[in-house]
Amino acid sequence: MHETPSGPRVLNPRLEFLLLVILLVKRQHALQLLFCAAHVVLAWRCERTFHVLSPEVAEAHSPELAECRLLEYAEVLRRGLASSPCASDLTEASVIVIPGYTFHNCHWPHYGGNCESEGTISRPGRECYDEQTMGAYRRLIDAREFARKSVAIIDGSGRVQSAWLPDLSFYNHPRVLILRLGAPVWFHRPGIDVSLPPGPLSRCAGQAAMYAMRESLDEKRYFATFKGKLRHNQVRATLAHLHHNDLDVIIVDRLDDSYDYDQLLYSSIFSLILEGDMLQTFHFAEAVCSGGIPVLISSKWVPPLQELLPFESYGLRFRDDEIPSVMVKLRALDGLSRLELRQRAMDACISRFRTLEVQAESVAQQLSLTSFRPTAPSKHSASAADSLGVGRCVAAAWSSPTLFYIMSVTETEAFAPKLQGCLLSNLAGSLHHAFLSLRKRSSSCMAMQLEHAHIVLVPGYSVLPDVTRPLSFPGRSCAPGQIYEGYRQLRLHAHLDGKLLVLSDMGDEGLPRDTSFSRLLLGARRSTFQYGVDVSMPAEPTPRCSGEAASMSFLEPLEHKRFLVSFKGRWEQPWEKQVAALHDNHNVVIVDDANAEYDAEFLLWNSVFLLVFATANYRNSRFNEAVCSGGIPVAMADASWVPPFDGFIRFSSYGVLIEDSNPSNLLPRLRDVLLNTAEVHVLRENARKVCTRFLQTREVQAAAALEALETPNRAEDDSLSVVLTQTLLDQEQQHLYALFETGALFRAVASRARTLQHLWMTVAAGPFEYLAASGEAVFAVSGHQVYKHLGPLRSVSPDSDWTAVSRGRVQALAIHDGVMLAAGLDGNIYQQDVNAMSIYTDWELLLEGRNFSRIAVHAGVLYATSQLYAASPVYSLDLSSPSHGWAKATIRRIPGDVGHLL
């Protein structure tokens, strides 16, 4: 057996880094890291040796390879292998390593995939990933001097369209070893092939990474984070949809400037690793070296160096089908297990991933192994108690933050003797504890000293206790008048002069109305609610809101839901009992809490619409569960109800509001909503966002309350309805498109942080006035003429070709059964065969209109209206019998129009 010489080649790269560790961390900890790294080095024994061909030698055997481009990553890896203690001459070697002629991933040393970036190309040439290259490889394998030796190919495509070697037999050749960047589970042969690590970017070896490794996990601001391109990647998009909450779980698109990439990377307990456009992601090494715990979510990618150092030994690994339960399992990981994994991730960074030279050493070590070491199962199960870490700055990233201070009970009673000894209910105590947890975690918008604060939150003494619940701080029951006097003492105290005091209150008029305070109202009443000053708070969330079942329900298509609408609970108002008459034992289930025939949880996850009876006195958790159900919440509300966080977010943007409490209006209204597929899609997506960002846990609710205090009228400020002229939903891809007043077409690629708004990506500059799309083509009105793009909506790009296909002047289009319908400038409706349209065909008058300017078709019915935003009635026309004429429709907006929700 060839043994590793104990020369400086093995130790120096790591010792250089460990000297830096000694300077930055405690001596004992540095010595522990030094021992771990030295142990790895001393344990390295070459079970087999390999010989690395230079490009000159390889090209002497296969001259056509001389024209191939060589990237710097492949060359650094080749040189590192050649200088390895396990490298030998040709005679002794059992493996021959070919230069990386088929390695074409240009994301190193500069991320972005630009092969022209400085330092990316070692030798210019053509991109060799074709049959000619495969022939050259076969000649090398068959060369006489390489007989009875294995041949290792350094492989890594840079294109999704040509991801694999043209000759797939190489992946199963008995004498070929594949050193592959982005190794797939379906080709990878454990113990034979090597899954290459993505090249480390500069962050991995930087000072910020070292400081992040020193920081305690308890001091990390975020629980789990990822920032990268979300579009075109189902795993990333699904994870963001289900778990991003703008509080401690941040999963945002790279275009979202509300969060800084480095701050997320170094300030997270768990750093998420998600597949990119290819299987691998260059975020891998950054995550391992982030000072947190790496979490890999992939069913297809073999982790780098998996046989040498199993990923499960220093991180957590999940399959794609485990996405709904990922956060539940991470939160359940106990503190000791987190510390162990974090330490091992730091060791893995130092010894395996932080520089390309270290990576090359590790690849050499795995290549020198002759036997497969099966991965040991992870001992870190998700059965321990939840250990939630929370906290984020609630101010916009581009503005100076408003500083909040959370007063403790002791501080409050020291400033206000009238409150001394007053009891604090469990309800008030749990909310205040959630605010205190934010104070522990946040640094940039939480004042650590009272004197620096702008807004001060006070414990909720006026949140009177429910006699059935335990007390948070036992004491005597103080009358509302005494509590109010105590609050006045606070307001007059010199230390609180000029600061806004925020009181938690029940909202039942127990305290005198005083506009000098802001209130967090648990059960806000519209008659006393001060918009722009007060915040309507939701009830306490139940575990169902953050459980795996809720995530799974959001993934299930609505058409698979069992019931149209459901409710199971107590009747408190006479009109609520009248709604029970709609129960039909089939699609509509509305039953009393005592009904044993229907399970409340089964109804929750299996209904398209979840009914809530909403009044100012409504304080149970049904509202939160309805929003988090995976369906669409429906609120039958009286005039007293103020929706949670109203003004900051609008209930109508994520739910259906029935304001008149008339039971006969419920089902017709829901069926009208179902006519607008795009509206159903947006309502459900917004409900999911509201669940995860505003309601899911007490900490999430507390963070949302602070944001609402800072920007209480955001819902009005954020409205995009003034700039959107048309919205379209791609049913197949579930992508939302919009035309803006500029005439440009945009696609929603992600949701903007801390709001229900979308981030929009330009698809085509236009200018367009109206669009209609089928599966085969897209038609656009521009300058009142009709143009055609051949291909589905998702194929439209800034470079797309458009061909004029009609004469006549039109302003809106709709397609039905191969017929193009158009609203002319004269307000009438015209038609012609969509496949025969050209500048030589004429429009046929279908029906005289009523000055219609916007039209849409749904289920064989043409809907039309005259204006976009004014309260203009919608009319319908049955296209199977157009002679019957127009009828006034019950819907408020034409199908496809969802600008009011955005």
pLDDT tens, position by position, 42-57? 346 788 999 999 999 9
Per the rule left: phi > 0, alpha: psi between -120 and 50, beta: everything else, 246 is: left
Confidence of residue 465 (pLDDT cuts 50, 70, 90): low
Task: Give percent of the chain with pLDDT exceeding 90.
Answer: 39
The token pair at 65 is 């390879």
pLDDT score at 735: 82
Confidence of residue 293 (pLDDT cuts 50, 70, 90): very high
Reduced to 3 states, what is the DSSP secondary structure of residue 606?
Answer: coil
The whole-number average pLDDT for the span 546-561 is 90
Domain(s) of CATH 3.40.50.2000: residues in the chain = 543-696
Mean pLDDT of 706-731: 69
Residue among 224, 241, 236 at smallest CA distance from 553: 241
Continuous segment of H or E residues that includes residue 790 = strand 785-790
Tokens of 677: 């597929």
Q: ∠ CA(749), CA(199), CA(188), 5° rounding?
A: 85
Distance in angstroms (rounded) separating the CA atoms of residues 425 and 442: 26
Q: How many helices (H) and strands (E) does the chain have?
A: 23, 40
Q: For the chain, how far is it from start to end, CA to CA, in angstroms? A: 68
Mean pLDDT of 838-848: 89
Q: Is the pLDDT of residue 289 over 90?
A: yes
Residue of higher predicted confidence among 633 and 19: 633
> HEC profile for 104-165?
CCCCCCCCCCCCCCCCCEEECCECCCCHHHHHHHHHHHHCHHHCCCEEEEEEECCCCCCCCC
Note the pLDDT tens digit of each residue in 424-436. 888 888 888 888 8
- Can you give the pLDDT at residue 637? 85
Contact 737, 746 (CB under 8 A): yes
User: pLDDT tens across 660-678, in order?
Assistant: 667 888 898 899 899 888 8
d(C-alpha 302, C-alpha 187), whole Å? 10
With 0-12 / 13-18 / 19 or more C-beta atoms within 10 angstroms meaning exposed / middle / buried, residue 892 is middle
Residues near 99 by Cβ (< 8 Å), separated by ≥ 6?
53, 54, 55, 58, 65, 70, 74, 75, 78, 154
Q: Are 203 and 289 in contact (CB under 8 A)?
A: yes
pLDDT of residue 597 exceeding 70, the answer is yes
Q: Give pTM, 2 decimals.
A: 0.73
- Cβ atoms within 10 A of the Cβ of 309, count? 22
β-bridge partners, 73: none
Specify the pairing of strand 745-751 against strand 758-764.
antiparallel
Least confident stretch, 67-81, 302-316, 352-366, 886-900: 886-900
Q: Residue 317 in 3-state DSSP?
A: strand
Provide φ and ψ at 170, rounded to 5°: -60, -30
> Which of 151-165, 230-244, 444-458, 721-735 shows the lowest mean pLDDT across its residues?
721-735
Q: Contact at 8 Å (CB) between 56 and 20?
A: no
CA distances for 212 relative to 26, 99, 313, 525, angstroms: 14, 37, 20, 47
Q: Residue 545 in 3-state DSSP?
A: helix
Please state, rounded to an integer, the average pLDDT across all residues of the chain: 83
Residue scoring higher pLDDT (147 or 750):
147
The arithmetic mean of pLDDT across residues 736-757, rounded, is 77
Name the nearest CA neighbour of 566 among 541, 594, 543, 592.
592
pLDDT at 716: 56
Give the Cβ contact number of residue 217 at 10 Å.
Answer: 18
Predicted confidence at residue 40, as pLDDT, reads 41
pLDDT in the model for residue 620: 73
User: Among candidates 335, 446, 338, 328, which has minimal Cα distance to 392?
Assistant: 446
Distance CA 582, CA 665 (A): 11
Q: Is the pLDDT of residue 617 over 80?
A: no
Distance CA 529, CA 526 (A): 5
Query: Among 297-311, 332-346, 365-379, 724-738, whose mean pLDDT is lowest?
Result: 365-379
- pLDDT of 164 strictly over 50: yes
pLDDT at 473 > cutoff 60: no
Q: Do the Cβ atoms of 50 and 97 come closer than 8 Å?
A: yes
Highest-pLDDT range among 344-348, 399-403, 445-449: 344-348
Q: Is the pLDDT of residue 353 over 50?
A: yes
Give how far the C-alpha of residue 78 lies from the chain's centroid of Cα atoms, to the nearest Å. Answer: 38
Kindly state the average pLDDT of the residues 403-413: 88
**Percent of the chain residues topping a pLDDT of 70:** 85
Query: Is the pLDDT reported for residue 526 higher than 90?
Result: no
CA–CA dist 771, 739 (Å, integer): 8
- How far is it, in rounded angstroms, from Cα 597 to Cα 574? 23
3-class DSSP state of 251? strand
- Answer whether residue 610 shows pLDDT above 90: yes
DSSP state of 349: I
Cα 794 to Cα 628: distance, rounded to the nearest angstrom: 30
Split at pLDDT 50, 70, 90, the class of 297 is: very high
238: nearest Cα among 299, 311, 294: 299
How many Cβ atoms from other residues are within 10 Å of residue 629's Cβ?
A: 29
Average pLDDT over residues 526-543: 88
Model pLDDT, residue 27: 41
Q: Are 413 and 419 in contact (CB under 8 A)?
A: yes
Say yes or no to pLDDT of 134 above 70: yes
> For residues 410 and 420, what is the distance between their CA atoms, to the nearest angstrom?
9
Q: How confident is the model at residue 421 (pLDDT cuts 50, 70, 90)?
A: confident
Q: Token pair 């000055």 is at which residue?
A: 851
**Confidence band for 831, pLDDT divided at 50, 70 and 90:** very high
Instruction: Dig out the tokens for 34 from the structure.
Output: 């030094």
Closest CA to 102 of 62, 67, 143, 133: 133
Model pLDDT, residue 360:
94
> Considering just the CA atoms, what is the radius of gyration of the chain in Å?
32
Least reliable range by pLDDT among 39-53, 268-282, 340-354, 366-380: 366-380
pLDDT surpassing 70 at residue 66: yes
Using an 8 Å Cβ cutoff, are 66 and 59 in contact?
yes
Query: What count of residues does the chain have?
Result: 902
Please indicate whether residue 325 or residue 224 has the higher confidence score (pLDDT). 224
Structure tokens at 883: 């002679």
Output the six-digit token pair for 35. Answer: 């021992």
> Using an 8 Å Cβ cutoff, are 248 and 273 in contact?
no
CA distances from 204 to 282, 336, 341, 355 (A): 11, 25, 18, 7
The mean pLDDT value for 442-458 works out to: 80
**CATH code linked to domain 543-696:** 3.40.50.2000
Q: What is the DSSP letter of 102?
A: E
Does position 528 have pLDDT exceeding 90, yes or no?
no
Tell me the C-alpha distance between 764 and 771, whole Å.
12
The strand pairing partners of 842, in sequence order, are none
87 against 6, higher pLDDT: 87
The residue among 279 and 64 whose pLDDT is bigger is 64
The predicted model gives 857-864 an average pLDDT of 91
Upstream peptide bond of 5 is cis (omega within 30 degrees of 0): no
- Of the two residues 581 and 82, the one the predictor is more confident about is 82
Q: Would the pLDDT of 394 be above 80?
A: no
Q: How many CB atoms within 10 Å of residue 826?
A: 13
Is residue 565 within 8 Å of residue 612, measured between CB atoms?
no
What was the pLDDT predicted at 576?
Answer: 77
Residue 750: predicted pLDDT = 65
Degrees, nearest 5: CA angle 719-822-861: 80
Neighbours of 2 (CB within 10 A): 16
Task: Give me the pLDDT at residue 387, please.
Answer: 26
The amino acid occupying position 513 is: R
Q: Is the pLDDT of residue 463 over 80?
A: no
b (16+ CB within 10 A) / e for 859-878: eebbbbbbebeeebebbbbe
Q: From 509, 413, 424, select the one nearest 465 (Cα to Cα).
A: 424
Please give the CATH number for the structural domain made up of 724-901: 2.120.10.30
Provide CATH 2.120.10.30 ranges for the chain: 724-901
| Mean pLDDT of the region 688-706 | 89
pLDDT of residue 374: 45
How high is the pLDDT of residue 902?
65
- CATH fold of the domain at 202-367: Rossmann fold (3.40.50)
Does the structure show a pLDDT above 70 at 5? no
Rounded mean pLDDT, 517-521:
89
What tokens does 467 get? 């006699």
